Structure formats: structure tokens, C-alpha cells
Amino acid sequence: MSTYAIGDIQGCYDALQRLLEKIRFDPVKDRLWFCGDLVNRGGQSLETLRLVHSLAIHSTIVLGNHDLSLLAIAQRQEAEQRKVNPDLGRILFADDRDVLIDWLRQQKLLHVDRTLGFAMVHAGLAPKWSIKIAEARAREVEELLRGESHRKLLRNMYGDKPAWTPKLTGPERFRAIVNVFTRMRYCTPAGRIGFDDKGRPGTQKAGLYPWFEVPGHLPRELPVVCGHWSTLGLFMGLGIYSIDTGAVWGGKLTALELGPELRLHQVDGRKMASGEKAGD
């Protein structure tokens, strides 16, 4: 039995199929962990979502910023939904869209497996959050997202402010929690996120640190698997395993086999069109 953590797919269905073939995924005995951003930009987001949904009983998923964006758009009027890019539009107007959207809304922001000895999040953890504290913050948002108040949560989800503080309440509190789990790359020692800084370490503004290197951060009880940061590339150190290797931008799609001995598996990602530039 093996557990494989898979980096950001972003609608690269063909690459995901190649990766599952390479690791010889066996649903009878293997588990898949998906680090979020299943959809958007790759051109095959509907196929990707259907495949991961079909593997639901064998998988654990944490939501990324693109997944949450899809959920938010799905709550809007049809005229607004028709303005999105064609890749997401194919999901929004598919016959099985309600099944897929409702299932996606049930997924986690943070997954912790103390038996296996790993945690998984899409982007990062605040400097003053231990794994235990992060679990409590994640549960707050997950309960809302799965319940009758999910529309209000999704409507008020967007925005770069406020920075996280335990004193926050209401929509501002939930927005700050979502931003940490799904949008963080750099932050200050106080936990203020540098949303505009997306490049490799060394390119950020003074006073910002990669979230996992912030001076004085609380100890993390478990190693953390994450994605979100394609310009960082594959990073394995400091108890962090960052595996967004830019499949949608012509890089690799990565699976990290978790266990006492870590094994890395990679396949080629999407072939970029001529003149296309990588994004975030």
C-alpha cells in the first residue's frame, strides 16, 4: 500500500493520466493526496474533475485558490458564469456540474494524518499556527463551506485584507483563514501576506520571508506537503515538501510517495502554446 501526494494539476488531465500510469496506481491498495488547484488553465479541467471525483473513495483533497474560485463562480448568475474562461465554463455548463460542484465543496483546507506522519495544505500555514491550531482554523471554514451558509462565505471570500489575527470575526475572519491556506507564499513575521510577491526566494520585498522560513514561527509537529508555488519549483527541506512543479506551465507534474522512504515520480506537464507566458 502506497500514498502518493500529487501537486497542482490545474486541468492537465493528460499529464495526470500519465502520472497515474507511471506510479502504477492501484485503487485496491493505494491512496492519492491532491494538493489543490485541480482546475483552471490546463484546458481539461472538466475531465480532471471527473477523474478525481471517480477516485474519491481512494483520495484526499485539499482545496486550492482556483478550486475555491470555481465554487464562488458557480454561485453567480448564469450571465456572469458565461464570462469565465472556456476551461472553467465547460464545468459550469456540464450536465454533471451540480454533482461535481457539490462534491468539491465538501473537501478540506487542511489534511492531517498522524499515523502516516504528514500534513497537507495547498499554500501554507501562518507563522503562529502549529498544526493543531491550523486544524481548528481549517475546521471553521470547512463547516461553513459544507453548510447552508456556503454562499455567504463564497461571496465574501475575495480580498487581500485583513491580515490574520485571532481577534477577527465574521467574514473578515474566514477570508483571512482562506488566504493563509490557499494564497500564501511570503509573509512577515507577524503573518501579513505579501500577495504581490510570487517569484523565487530572493526576489521578494524586504521584510518578507517564505512562509516556512519566517523567523520565530511556531514548531510544526509534522512535515507538510503543499503546492501553489510553481516559481519555487520542487522544494524539499525544513520539513516542507512543496510539489507544484508547474505542470500547467510546461513543467512537470509531480507525485511524492509518502512514507519512511520518500520517492519522487514525475511526468511532463502540458505543452505550452507558442508565445504563452507562465503565470501564478
Q: What is the pLDDT at residue 278?
A: 73
- Each residue's pLDDT tens digit, 226-249: 999 999 999 999 999 999 999 999
**Residue burial 156-182, b: 16+ Cβ < 10 Å; e: rest:** ebeeeeebbeeeeeeeebbbbbbbbbb
pLDDT class for 272, splitting at 50, 70, 90?
A: confident
User: Residue 40 is placed in which grid cell?
Assistant: 483552471
pLDDT class for 274, splitting at 50, 70, 90?
A: low
- Each residue's pLDDT tens digit, 123-173: 999 999 999 999 999 999 999 999 999 999 999 999 999 999 999 999 999
Question: Any idea where the domains of the chain sit in the sequence?
Answer: 3-268
- Each residue's pLDDT tens digit, 71-80: 999 999 999 9
Within 8 A by CB and 6+ apart from 250, the residues are 269, 270, 271, 272, 278
Q: What is the pLDDT at residue 260?
A: 85
Dihedral of CA atoms 163, 164, 166, 167 in degrees, nearest 10, equals: 20
Q: Determine whether domain 3-268 maps to CATH 2.40.30.20.
A: no
Residue 217 DSSP SS3? coil
Within 8 A by CB and 6+ apart from 70, the residues are 39, 40, 88, 91, 92, 101, 104
- Each residue's pLDDT tens digit, 2-55: 999 999 999 999 999 999 999 999 999 999 999 999 999 999 999 999 999 999
pLDDT class for 273, splitting at 50, 70, 90?
A: confident
Mean pLDDT of the chain: 96
Q: What is the pLDDT at residue 279?
A: 66
Q: Note every long-range contact of 234-242, with CB atoms under 8 Å and residues 24 or more positions apart, other chains counting.
A: 234/264, 236/262, 238/212, 238/213, 239/212, 240/212, 241/5
Among 11, 33, 10, 38, which residue's Cα sits nearest to residue 23?
33
**Is the pLDDT at 280 greater than 70, yes or no?**
no
Among 221, 209, 216, 254, which residue's Cα sits nearest to residue 236?
254
Helices (H), 23-123: 45-54, 65-73, 78-81, 86-92, 97-104
